[in-house]
Amino acid sequence: MGAAVKHDIFQAIADPTRRDVLRLLTHHDMPISEISSHFPVSRTAIVKHLHVLSEAKLVSSRKVGREKLYSLQPESLAELKDWLSYFEQFWTNKLSMLKSVVENGENVTLKDEMFNKDGKE
């Protein structure tokens, strides 16, 4: 038997249905039947989506009676937010520099930004 495929967070959220499942679970924990009722795909397809989300540690499940309840795992979402915040800060800084250049009428080229004044990286 082959090794289990481990899904990372970005693979897991790449699919719009899985993103919608995550949004749905922000309301409350739900069994597969309730989750499935919100989508025009089969229950089997939702189970596969939940498996990917579980492998990425974005959702967890627990047995309650005969049902399996799914819930969000906020810790993994926080890791994703932290990773994305780096790029948010990067672009905020770049846009702030651009705004300053435009407002002050400075004549800065991309080459000036990439290299020191003496032409070295």
Burial 33-55, CB ≥16 within 10 A → b, else e: eebbeeeeeeeeebeebbebbbb
* pLDDT tens digit sequence for 74-108: 888 888 888 888 888 888 888 888 888 888 876 65
pLDDT at residue 4 above 50? Answer: no
Residue 26 φ/ψ, nearest 5 degrees: -70, -20
**pLDDT digits over 84-93, tens only?**
888 888 888 8
pTM of the model: 0.68
Q: Where are the domains of the chain?
A: 9-72, 76-114
More confident residue, 19 or 86: 19
Phi/psi for 60 (5° steps) reads: -130, 165
Q: Are 56 and 80 in contact (CB under 8 A)?
A: no
pLDDT over threshold 90, residue 8: no
Domain at 9-72: CATH code: 1.10.10.10
Q: Which residues contact 33 (CB under 8 A, 6 or more apart)?
A: 43, 67
Helices (H) and strands (E) in the chain, counts: 6, 3
